[in-house]
Structure 1
Amino acid sequence: MSETVEEQNDDAVVARPPVRRGPGGHGPGMQGPTEKAMNFGPSAKRLIRRLRPELLGIWAVGFLAVVSVVCAVLGPKIIGQGVNLVFSGAISRLLPAGATQEQVIAGLRARGEGQQADMISGMTLTPGEGIDFTALSHIMLWVLALYILSSVFSWLQAYVLNGITQRTVYRLREDVEAKINRLPLRYFDKMQRGELLSRVTNDIDNISQTLQQTMSQLLTSLLTVIGVIVMMFIVSPLLALIALVTIPLTLVITMIIAKRSQKYFVAQWKHTGELNGQIEEAFTGHALVKVFGRHREVEETFRQKNDEMYRASFGAQFISGIIMPAMMFVGNLMYVVIAVVGGLQVASGAMQLGDVTAFIQYSRQFTQPLTQLGSMANLLQSGVASAERVFELLDAEEQTPDADPAETPTGNRGRLVFENVSFRYAEDKPLIDDLSLVAEPGQTVAIVGPTGAGKTTLVNLMMRFYELDAGRITLDGVDIAQMTRRDLRSRTGMVLQDTWLFGGTIRENIAYGRPDATEEEILAAAKATYVDRFVHSLPDGYDTVLDDEGSNVSAGEKQLLTIARAFLAQPNVLILDEATSSVDTRTELLVQKAMSALRADRTSFVIAHRLSTIRDADLILVMESGAIVEQGTHSELLATGGAYYTLYNAQFAGAAEA
């Protein structure tokens, strides 16, 4: 199943984007994308550098995050004061009124209850009085206000960050689109269309999701860890030191697991692209698969690629998924140690109960962001793996830039000259070597020869889909390498054997040849190419909507639409690559008449396999192995009895024998 690739930045009138061709018009062979992945660090840094245009917004996010975290981490400390107030009030109610706290402590020690005396000594009591509910209500209002402020600033942070993320991904998509427009056709020869689409869609969407989900959590988690550590040391330096032991342990666990899972994330997105390529290819060639009964082979290929993707995805998610349970285990161990040591501190009077409850809350606040950081590891690795694939596309070698300043032909005659042109797709496989020819204005030049002779390659060189290895091609005396591609292709119309239509109406598909054309000009082109004849049989006429495969019109009708598109553009140079191969014999005769009018006063190149269609050509070039072995008119070449004579007789002898 062959694939087609749209040549970007192309203002020529192209009936269908150039098909992927290798030497002699054949594809050079499907090659997978490069598998060498960047390291996590450089790729992550490069992704972060793309946030530079949003520096002001990032500072705003940082400020909002700081305020939100400060409000959140102050809450447990104030709640601890409330717990102290309640606990002290409850104990004070049980003590005899009128006595002082010192008297109560002395009495307990005198009765041998030293542990209770130590605990009470660490509290602030007023014997005989109960809980101060007025002070308690004030504390609760402060806590409520802090948590409301924390939520509001957290929401504002998420709002600003969402804009930063979407604008960053927007620019990334723009860069990718612009990059595709600058890539040479060689790149598309080696890249499956489904794989390329996967990078442009799936991988960029994954980057967007990763930035959206991790940036906010990452910043908030880091600030929370810092804020909680500060508050821990304020509450209890001893317990804070115990809690800090978990940080290096957490980092070591995360680094070990993340290092093992990164290769699986790279493989996961690589296999995703390959699977998309296989599916796209199978769906595009669905009818062909059915005709040759190859559905079982397609299903088996799908099963194998799906299994590869399953194993990579399972490995990536399973290994990275271990991080969060490991972090929770470490956090629970810390919680147990803090609860035991804190209880002993309260019993000894070194701490108040409210401080211990506050510290336990801080321990949860401390382990929660560490756990979040661990759970984000798989998201980060997945996003960076996608970023690597997108960066590979952005780093691909571009086509040579247009000359600056560029030259422009002064006339519109369409005189094309090949001067000692040499070209090869592969370094070790010469294709065209030292080829020279002249196509005069108004001439119809036919190019014939066996498959693989280099006919379509010659056309690709005229359009600068590929750059020459040696020699030059001039259009009206100007080297096409010194012209902008836009200028060159705006002077050239092309109708290929493989038709290609946009999703849109018939009118829009014809007008693609010249968007500023009037309705009368569109109808005139349709009538001249006999499109008008079948359009009126369609329910909506020229407003009939075609899908991108043109499945609601026949192959011959699609061919006529592409010819009408070229007819409307009225180019200086016309290239026809088996442009009537899909139409019936009667329609072909009509189209040949239309083509004669279209070719008038402009240079035309016609690639033909049916030699009967090019008898009236002004010049026939016979190519073999990238070289012109014969040239002349139809009658002249038949008279010589050479390669053209052999081709012509073989074609019609074969038809006679059949």
Structure 2
Amino acid sequence: MFTRLLKYIKPYRTVFVISLFCVVGLAIFGAFRPYVLKEAIDVKIANKEYNGFVIYMVIMLALLIFEVISQLLFIYYASWLGQSVVKDIRVKLFKHMLKFKMTYFDKSSVGVLITRAVTDMERIADIFGEGLFMIFSDILKMIVVAGFMSFINLKLSLIVFVTMPIVLFATKIFQKYMKIAFEDVRTEVSNLNSFVQERVTGMKILQLFTRETTEYKKFKAINERHKKGWLKTVWYNSIFFPIAEFLASLTMAMVILVGGFNAISENAGTTLGDLIAFTMFIPMLFRPLNQIANKFNTLQMGMVAADRVFKVLDTTSNIDDSGTIETSHFDGNITFEDVRFSYIKDEEVLKGISFNVEAGETVAIVGATGAGKSTIINLLNRFYEINSGTIKVDNTDIKDMTLSSLRNQIAVVLQDVFLFADTILNNISLNNPNITEEDVVNAAKSIGIHEFISSLPNGYHYNVKERGVMLSSGQRQLISFLRAYVTNPSILILDEATSSVDSYSEQLIQDATDKITEDRTSIVIAHRLATIQQADKIIVMDAGEIVEIGTHKSLLKKEAGYYKNLYEVQFLKAEVV
């Protein structure tokens, strides 16, 4: 995992090398200062020599300045490197997610995916800014300090080195348990994000059905688990760091005790400078050891986050886009040949359906909820892969076409309209550089909704906010219809496009439909049969099978026909109302 993460550093080798040099500088300049101070005490202060004493102080000041500069550069470049690597991974992740099949999103929580793309990425950045380089810096500093201590006074160094294995063992145990704890924390963070995102999005439903108290209790339970996860890490920290601090203080006391007796004894080989240097060296040795444990926390969180992100990157849920045929226009002939499909294995939604749509025809697909009407549209756009059979456009298998050229020629107006928190203009053009504001205005005028858009504050530059909450459902549907119309598609699909609009908006859409469907292949899915009576062909579906095909008039002539029954039931309800 770590090796894979380091591959993303390759474009930033120069910055990586600078950071490493800064790390080396921090270790060397920091370790030299106690040694210079020792020499100043033993050579000058002990002998009461003023000559040359200032030089030692100047050297110490210079070492301090170099250490500060190294630390400044290290903090900046290590953080810069971390953010640059994360930017590259995040872009790669989002690009990868854009190509996923709809099946992946059907089964994945939005909150979890947001956590992967945002929160987990910041934890990965910490690997470089606070984890990896800091651990390397601390280890290098410990090695240099240990070398200086051994060179100055081996006897006192052995006292220090005896306690280090104990701290190292404690650090290893601490690291093991912290990894488990942080995995639990990341899981609970994902659950929390997912829960909050879904409840905020569906707040209207919660309030309509007075579920506030129930959801509040659920949130408290999830938050409690999140708290317990973090408290587990706090508990491990509260045990480890006092133990490490106690061992450091105990080591310092032993060094002062033994070194003090040796310094008093004239022939013991320990000087006052040695003692002063060791009182500086010991914190420099033990503090990094304690910090390594702390940085391991950061590193563990980063590695857990990286593991989760790479699992998404390793997911092979992409639609096969190996087709080579590029087309800028379809005549509009559509053929389904014995198409079978299931969202869940062994539970077929489409059971070997076959039908033809001639170029320029308007074909309606009707049937009860769950009959498979919208599934046909999803398969035509290749949002899902069929189990068997063939789907052709203009006698070419859609698998042989590139996804972009296929979808560019098919415009879909869905029942559930999704608008982004952006202007009306951008929601219609979707920032397509080939669609100008003039194109949008002309299209709006031609289908009769220019007046409605112009009446809004800032007109086409009116921000509709998240999911278009500033517009009514009918207005959102009109915007969605204009979005499809302005692309001038070869094939137009209306999926329950008038099911949730008022009579005025429906009439606008019906007028626009008459214009846009002229000489263009159109597929209309509708529950309201009054809207599809003029269709050239009506396909009637039931439980994933085609039960009838014909015109409105021919289907009504069938005694005990499925369509006739649907029609009579709908109009009987209308008369009752």
Give the TM-score normalised by structure 1.
Answer: 0.84
Q: Tell me how many residue pairs correspond in the alignment.
A: 574
Shift of 1:489: 0.4
Instruction: Verify: 1:334 aligned to 2:292, yes or no.
Output: no
| Alignment-derived partner of residue 381 in structure 1 | 300
Secondary structure of 2:134's aligned partner: helix
State the Cα RMSD in Å: 1.8
Q: Which residue of 1 aligns with 2:363?
A: 445
Q: What are the Cα deviations for residues 190-228 of structure 1, in whole angstroms up to 9, with x where unaligned?
A: 111122111111111222134311233212101100100
Give the 3 Å change call, closer, same or farther, for CA 605–513 of structure 1 in structure 2.
farther
Partner of 1:145: 62
What residue is the counterpart of 2:332 in the other structure? 414
Corresponding position: 1:654 with 2:573: yes
User: Is 1:59 the counterpart of 2:14 in the alignment?
Assistant: no
Give the conservation status (yes or no) of the 8 Å contact 1:525–1:568. Answer: yes
Question: 1:570 aligns to what SS in structure 2?
Answer: coil
Give the deviation of 1:263 after TM superposition. Answer: 2.0
Contact 1:195 1:273 in 2 (8 A): yes
Maintained 8 Å contact 1:51/1:168: yes
SS in 2 for 1:466: coil
Structure 2 counterpart of 1:540: 458
Match of 2:138?
Answer: 221
Q: Among 360, 385, 399, which residue is 2:279 paired with? A: 360
With over 3 angstroms needed to count, the CA separation of the structure-2 counterparts of 1:319 and 1:44, relative to structure 1, is: farther
**1:207 pairs with 2:165:** no
Partner of 1:74: 32
- What is the Cα deviation at residue 398 of structure 1? 2.7
Separation in structure 1 between the aligned mates of residue 152 and residue 328 of structure 2, nearest angstrom: 84
Q: Which is greater in Rg?
A: 1
Tell me the amino acid that sits aligned with residue 654 of structure 1. K
Unaligned 5+ segments in structure 2 are none
Rate the CA distance shift 1:547–1:505 in 2: closer, same or farther, 3 A. same
Whole-angstrom distance in 2 between the partners of 1:393 and 1:381: 19
| SS of corresponding position for 1:493 | strand
**Secondary structure, counterpart of 1:62 in structure 2:** helix
Task: Name the SS of the counterpart of 1:133 in structure 2.
Answer: coil
Q: CA deviation at 1:513?
A: 8.1
Match of 2:564 among 642, 645, 655: 645
Match of 1:611 in 2: 529
Q: Which residue does 1:34 correspond to in 2?
A: none
Alignment of 1:1-400 (within 5 A): 43-85=1-43, 87-89=45-47, 131-348=48-265, 349=267, 350-400=269-319
Secondary structure of the residue aligned to 1:57 is: helix
Question: What residue is the counterpart of 1:512 in the other structure?
Answer: 430
Change (3 A) 1:553 1:606: same
Deviation, structure 1 residue 410: 8.1
- Post-superposition shift, 1:45? 4.1
TM-score where L is the length of structure 2 = 0.95
Write out per-residue CA displacement over residues 443-490 of structure 1, whole angstroms, 9 at most, x where no aligned residue. Answer: 111111111111111110000000111111111121111111101000
Aligned pair partner of 1:464 in 368, 382, 389: 382
Matched with 2:394 is 476
Contact kept in structure 2, 1:415 and 1:439, CA below 8 Å: yes
Post-superposition offset of 1:324? 2.6
Measured in 2, the distance between the counterparts of 1:500 and 1:198 equals: 22
User: Which shows bigger deviation, 157-166 or 190-199?
Assistant: 157-166
- SS of residue matched to 2:354: strand
2:466 alignment partner, SS class: coil
| In 1, Cα distance between equivalents of 2:240 and 2:4 | 25
* Segment drifting more, 610-619 vs 307-316: 307-316
Q: 2:491 aligns with which of 569, 573, 589?
A: 573
Name whichever of 414-423 and 325-334 sits farther off: 325-334
% identical equivalent positions? 33
- With 335-344 and 525-534 compared, the bigger mean Cα shift is at 525-534
CA separation of 1:530 and 1:297: change in aligned 2, threshold 3 A? farther
Contact preservation (8 Å) 1:323, 1:375: no
Letter in 1 for 2:438: E
**Deviations 1:20-68, CA, capped at 9 Å, x for gaps:** xxxxxxxxxxxxxxxxxxxxxxx44433443344344323322232233
Return the letter of the residue paired with 1:83.
I
1:171 maps to a residue whose letter is D
One-letter amino acid matched to 2:146: I
AA paired with 1:338?
V
Distance in 2 (CA, whole Å) between partners of 1:397 and 1:569 is 31
CA 1:411/1:180 → structure 2, altered by over 3 Å: closer, same or farther? closer
CA distance in 1, matches of 2:56, 2:95: 58
Contact kept, 8 Å, 1:444 with 1:619, in 2: the verdict is yes
Distance of 1:133 and 1:411 partners within structure 2: 93
Contact 1:195 1:274 in 2 (8 A): yes
Mapped partners of 1:499, 1:400: distance in 2: 24
CA contact (8 A) 2:82 2:127 kept: no
Distance 1:323 1:374, change over 3 A: farther
**Deviation sequence 1:528-587 (CA, Å, 0-9, x none):** 333223223223222222212212221111110111111111100111111122221133
**For the residues of structure 2 that align with 1:515 and 1:143, how far apart are their CA atoms?**
62
1:528 aligns with 2:486: no
Letter in 2 for 1:401: D
- Relative to structure 1, the CA distance from residue 411 to residue 142 in structure 2 (aligned partners, 3 Å threshold; closer, same or farther) is closer
SS in 1 for 2:298: helix
Instruction: For residue 505 of structure 1, report the CA deviation from its aligned partner.
Output: 1.9
Q: Which runs of 4+ in 1 moved over 6 A?
A: none
Q: Per the alignment, do residues 387 and 564 of structure 1 end up closer, same or farther by CA in structure 2, a change over 3 Å counting?
A: same
Query: CA offsets, 1:508-543, max 9 Å, x none?
Result: 222238542344321221123332232232232222
Query: Per the alignment, do residues 590 and 295 of structure 1 end up closer, same or farther by CA in structure 2, a change over 3 Å counting?
Result: same
Amino acid at match of 1:241: L
Asked whether the equivalents of residues 257 and 322 of structure 1 are also in contact (C-alpha less than 8 Å), the reply is no
Distance 1:67 1:443 in 2: 76
Q: Which amino acid aligns with 1:386?
A: A
In 2 relative to 1, CA 500–375 (structure 1 residues): closer, same or farther, beyond 3 Å? same
Note the C-alpha offset of 1:409.
Answer: 4.8
Distance 2:520 2:356 in 1: 14
- 2:528 and 2:207 map into 1 onto residues whose CA distance is 29
Residues 411 and 352 of structure 1: is their aligned pair in 2 closer, same or farther, counting only changes over 3 Å? closer
Q: Which amino acid aligns with 1:651?
A: Q
1:558 to 476, 480, 490: 476
1:623 partnered with 2:541: yes
* Aligned mates of 2:567, 2:244 — CA distance in 1: 78
